[in-house]
Amino acid sequence: MLHGEYKTPGGKLVQVDFELAGDRLTNVRVTGDFFLEPPEALDTIARALEGAPASLEEGELAARITQALEAFDRVELLGFSAEAVARAVRRALAP
Amino acid sequence: MNLARWRTYRWQLVAGEAFDPGMQMALDEVLTRRVGAGQRPPTLRFWEWTAPAVVIGRFQSLRNEVDLEEAARHGITVVRRITGGGAMLTEPGKVITYSIYAPLELVADLSFQESYAFLDAWVVEALRALGIDAWYQPINDITSAQGKIGGAAQARRFGAVLHHTTMAYDIDPAKVPRVIRIGREKLSDKGIRSAERRVAPLRQQTELPREAIQEHLIRTFAERHGLEEGGLLRDELEEARELVRTKYGTWEWTAILP
C-alpha cells in the first residue's frame, strides 16, 4: 500500500492511498480535511485515478481528475484541487 | 452591510437540551432537510453535549485521524459529520457549538469561501464586543492574537445550507493530540506561524463563564438578525433518533472511509 500527502498552502490536507497492479494505480482512496460539494465527487476523484499509469506526470494526473469532475453540473473543491491530489499521488510514488 | 440579507428571514432559536454525539449529527441532518423543504423556519441551534466526542469530517480517514483505542480508553465517542473539514474534540461544558440552518438563497451568490466568513460575522462581532481580539481567518477559522478559537464547516445539502462552528471554551489543548493524530505534512506551512496557530480557548481570553458568552452570542444574533424562541418538534426528534439507528450510530457510516 502506497501513501502520499500534500497540504495546499493556506488550504487543507489531501491523503491518497493506493496499490500498484503492474504499473497502474488500483484501490485508490482519497481522504483529507478538505471541503467538497457534492460529497459524491470524492468517488469520482478516486475513480479517475483508478488504472492510471504510475508513469503519469502531475499535470496528466490532475487532468484526469478535472475531466472526470466535468460530469457534475456544479462541483466545488475548497482547500484543495485536482493538482493537490495529483501531487499527493506523485509523492506516494517517489517519496 | 449584508444585514438586510439576514433580515429577509424570521430566525428561530433552538437551545438548551443536551444530546449525545450521534443525536447531534442526526439533528443537523434533520433540521437541514426541514429548512430545505420549507417545513421549518431558518434556525440557529446551540448545542449542549451529554458526552465527550471526537467529530471527524465527511472526507477524513477514520484511522488516519483518530486513535480509536485511546478514544475508547477516555470514554470518547467517535462520530462522523456530513460536512468536510478536520477532526475536533468536544467535551460537555468545554466548547461552544452552534449550527445555522438556512435557505440556500441566503448564500446563493457567495462563493463557498465567502459564505464561511459571512455566516460567522455575527460571532466575530460578538467576541470583539467582549474585548476578545477575534477575527475571521479564511477558509474556516475564528482566530485571535492569542491563537485559534474555533473552526466552521459547511455543506449545501437538501436544498439548504448547514453551517456549524465549534469554539474551544475550556478544552485542554494538550489532550487533543492524544486522540487526534496530527501529521507532519499538515503542519508543513504552519511552521513559522506555530505560535499564532496554537489553540487559545475562550476561557484564557475572558473571565466570563461559558453560559454568559453563549447568552451574549444569542443576544448579538437577535439584535443583528432577529430571533424568536423555538424548540425541536417531537417528530424531528423521532426522525433524528431513527437516523442515529440507521446512519450516525453505525460503524458503516463512521468508517465509511476507514
Our CA-based measurement puts residue A23 at a distance from the nearest CA of chain B, in whole angstroms, of 25
Tens-binned pLDDT, residue by residue, of chain A (95 aa): 999 999 999 999 999 999 999 999 999 999 999 999 999 999 999 999 999 999 999 999 999 999 999 999 999 999 999 999 999 999 999 86
Beta strands in A22-93 (DSSP E): 24-32, 35-37, 76-78
Domains of chain B, start order = 3-254 (3.30.930.10)
Mutate to test the interface with B, among A78, A80, A87 (most CBs of B within 10 A): A78
The 10 Å Cβ neighbour count of residue A91 is 17
Q: What is the mean pLDDT of residues B47-62?
A: 97
B113 and A78: CB-CB below 8 Å?
A: yes
pLDDT for residue B2 is more than 90: no
d(CA B234, CA B49): 19
Altogether, the residues listed in chain B come to a count of 258
In chain B, which residues have their Cβ closer than 8 Å to the Cβ of A36?
58-59, 84
C-beta atoms of B153 and A34 within 8 A: no
A-B Cβ pairs (cutoff 8 Å, strict): 71
Of residues B157, B160, B79, B165, the one with CA closest to residue B121: B165
Classified as helix, coil or strand, B185 is helix
Residue of chain A with shortest Cα separation from B154: A35
Q: Is B139 helix (H, G, I), strand (E, B) or coil?
A: coil
User: What is the Cα gyration radius of chain B?
Assistant: 17
Contact B95, B149 (CB under 8 A): no
Q: Which three cell numbers stand for residue A94?
A: 517517489
Q: Is the ipTM of this complex over 0.85?
A: yes
**Structural domains for chain A:** 2-93 (3.30.390.50)
Q: Give the per-residue pLDDT at B3.
A: 84
**Cβ atoms of residues B80 and B25 within 8 Å:** yes
Helix B21-36 × helix B234-243 angle, to 10°:
120
> What's the pLDDT score for residue B197?
56
The C-alpha of A30 sits at a distance from chain B's nearest C-alpha, in angstroms, of 8
Q: Does residue B172 register a pLDDT over 90?
A: no
Condensed to tens digits (0 to 9), the pLDDT of residues B232-258 reads 999 999 999 999 999 999 999 999 999
User: Does residue B173 carry a pLDDT above 90?
Assistant: no
Nine cell digits for residue B146: 492569542
Q: What is the pLDDT of residues B183-235, one digit of tens each?
A: 656 666 554 344 335 789 999 999 999 999 999 999 999 999 999 999 999 99
